Amino acid sequence: MITIKVNQEIHQFSETLTVAALVRFININTNGIAIAVNSSVVKKADWSFRVLQNSDELLIITSTQGG
């Protein structure tokens, strides 16, 4: 069992997964978001390759429009 913190919310998984798999699991729209793992931004092109480890912390930021 691994524990991943996503935007201060704890999630537990039975196996390791990639950033892309986690995004699918939590079912969020990927347009206009950025993801940092342990304070390091992960390029969207690398989401399928970046394997998450126990105790990783993700920050998902959604862009907004305004003026």
Q: Yes or no: say if 63 and 12 are a contact pair by the CB < 8 Å rule.
A: no
pTM over 0.95: no
The tally of domains found in the chain comes to 1
Check residue 28 and give its pLDDT. 87
Determine the 3-state secondary structure of 59 from DSSP. Answer: strand
Q: 19-53, pLDDT tens digit by residue?
A: 999 999 989 888 889 999 999 999 999 999 999 99
7: in domain = yes
We report the CATH number of the domain holding residue 40 as 3.10.20.30
67: in domain = no
Q: Yes or no: say if 23 and 4 are a contact pair by the CB < 8 Å rule.
A: no
Check residue 29 and give its pLDDT. 86
Q: Which helix (H) or strand (E) holds 23?
A: helix 19-26
Res. 67 pLDDT band, cuts 50 70 90: low
Q: Which domain holds residue 23?
A: 2-62
